[in-house]
């Protein structure tokens, strides 16, 4: 097991490294000069050149890359051009806010999806199954920014029950655990939970129906096991794949949804990404993408490690 974990970690390293390369190149591939955002368009050539030296842009690319990587590893992702604050601090605040949203949305979507999908799988082709299937198709195909807007119009504008914008009263970015702040979570969490809900429902429905059609379920009944005992066997069989799918969905959620966070002005990483793009704040953009990608690599690694721990069939390979 320890060896397996080590091997997975080693496999993840080149992926992480390529991510850093892509993130680095982003600045140079992006249209326009990275200095445009800092220097006025009509700045004299001497000023531009001085800035180039200051930012290290006069060095060859590989040199720039390794310098940048070294700083990044030390926790220095530069300063935001727009706010002048360190990128790392900006990104961390945003990531925490996004994690908050993601975890709530995941808990809601996964638990509801597991129950719905499980019921549908057991009642294959029955009425519950049809309803669950319809819901999951809607969940996956409805554009969620649109859903977000509809929810805002209904529950915020018309009924005035819930706040529509921000993560706390007065547009504060720092999260607090109180009822007032929790109210700000309701609409974005609901909106964000719809897609994982749909996907988890669909996945678990298919898995459960498949397991129930297996011979060993007949064999369990043939040896006198109760429905409850059979259910436990089904859960244990479904768990590895279901957890893998959930892990992936959690990954997407943690990446932050640009659209949903923008609709609700939620100060998370998606919103930050949006801001960075529109303000052409390249250091911020670079840092945000880098950290989000690293979170994704880490999550994939976790799924890879956890899955064989619960599925004996995968242990050998």
Partner 1 sequence: MNDSPISPPLVSVTDLTVTFGGRRPVHAVNGVSFTVGTGEVLGLLGESGCGKSVTLRSLIRLHPPKRTTYGGRIQIDGQDILAMSEDQLSRYRGSVTSMVFQEPLLAFDPVYTVGKQIAEAIRRHTGIDASAARTEAIRLLDRVQIPQAAERFQAYPHEMSGGMRQRAMIALALSCRPKLLLADEPTTALDATVQIQILLLLRELQREMGLSIIFVTHDIGVAVEISDRVAVMYAGRIIEQGPIAEIISAPAHPYTQGLLSSTVTQGMRGTRLEAIPGAPPDLAALPPGCAFAARCRYAGADCVESVPDTGADAGREVACFHPLPPPLHEGAADAHAR
The residues that touch partner 1, with contacts defined as CB under 8 A, are 214-216, 218-226, 229, 233, 236-237, 240, 311-313
Residue whose CB is less far from partner 1, 217 or 297 = 217
Residue whose CB is less far from partner 1, 161 or 216 = 216
| CA–CA dist 212, 219 (Å, integer) | 11
Residue whose CB is less far from partner 1, 67 or 214 = 214
Residue 9 C-alpha from the chain's centroid: 21
| CA–CA dist 249, 66 (Å, integer) | 33
Give me the least distance between CB of 142 and partner 1, in Å please: 34
Give me the least distance between CB of 237 and partner 1, in Å please: 5
Give me the least distance between CB of 217 and partner 1, in Å please: 8
b/e map of 195-230 (b: 16 or more CB within 10 Å)?
bbbbbbbbbbbbbbbebbeeeebeebeeeeeeeeeb
Residue whose CB is less far from partner 1, 162 or 230 = 230
| CA–CA dist 157, 199 (Å, integer) | 30
Task: Of 175, 317, 299, 180, give the one whose Cα is nearest residue 248.
Answer: 299
Residue whose CB is less far from partner 1, 240 or 267 = 240
- CB distance 249 to 199 below 8 Å: yes
Give me the least distance between CB of 129 and partner 1, in Å please: 14
Give me the least distance between CB of 239 and partner 1, in Å please: 8
Residue whose CB is less far from partner 1, 172 or 226 = 226
| CA–CA dist 238, 118 (Å, integer) | 10
| CA–CA dist 167, 97 (Å, integer) | 8
Give me the least distance between CB of 123 and partner 1, in Å please: 11
Residue whose CB is less far from partner 1, 126 or 169 = 126
Residue with tokens 């994690």: 99
Residue 303 is inside which H or E element, if any? helix 282-310
Task: Of 65, 47, 43, give the one whose Cα is nearest residue 56.
Answer: 65
The Cβ of residue 89 has, within 10 Å, a number of other Cβ atoms equal to 13
Give me the least distance between CB of 233 and partner 1, in Å please: 5
């Amino acid at each position: 097991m320890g060896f397996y974990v080590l091997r997975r970690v080693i496999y993840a390293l080149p992926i992480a490294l390529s991510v850093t390369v892509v993130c680095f190149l982003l600045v140079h591939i992006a249209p326009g000069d990275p200095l445009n955002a800092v220097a006025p368009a009509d700045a004299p050539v001497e000023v531009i050149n001085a800035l180039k030296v200051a930012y290290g842009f006069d060095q060859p690319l590989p040199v720039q890359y390794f310098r940048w990587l070294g700083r990044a590893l030390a926790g220095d992702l530069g300063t935001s051009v727009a706010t002048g604050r360190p990128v790392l601090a900006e990104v961390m605040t945003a990531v925490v806010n996004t994690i908050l949203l993601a975890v709530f949305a995941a808990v809601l979507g996964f638990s509801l999806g597991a129950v719905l999908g499980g019921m549908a799988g057991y009642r294959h082709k029955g009425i519950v199954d049809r309803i669950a299937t319809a819901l999951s198709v809607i969940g996956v195909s409805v554009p969620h920014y649109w859903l977000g807007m509809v929810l805002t119009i209904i529950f915020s504008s018309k009924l005035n029950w819930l706040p529509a914008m921000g993560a706390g009263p007065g547009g504060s970015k720092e999260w607090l655990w109180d009822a007032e702040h929790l109210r700000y979570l309701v609409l974005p969490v609901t909106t964000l939970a719809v897609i994982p809900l749909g996907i988890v429902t669909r996945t678990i429905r298919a898995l459960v129906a498949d397991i129930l059609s297996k011979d060993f379920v007949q064999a369990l009944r043939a040896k006198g096991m109760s429905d409850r005992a059979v259910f436990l066997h089904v859960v244990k069989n479904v768990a590895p794949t279901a957890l893998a799918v959930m892990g992936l969905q959690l990954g997407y959620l943690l990446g932050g949804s640009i659209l949903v966070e923008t609709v609700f002005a939620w100060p998370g990483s998606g919103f930050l990404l949006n801001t960075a793009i529109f303000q052409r704040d390249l250091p911020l953009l670079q840092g945000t993408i880098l950290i989000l990608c690293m979170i994704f690599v880490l999550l994939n690694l976790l799924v890879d490690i956890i899955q064989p721990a619960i599925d004996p069939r995968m242990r050998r390979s």
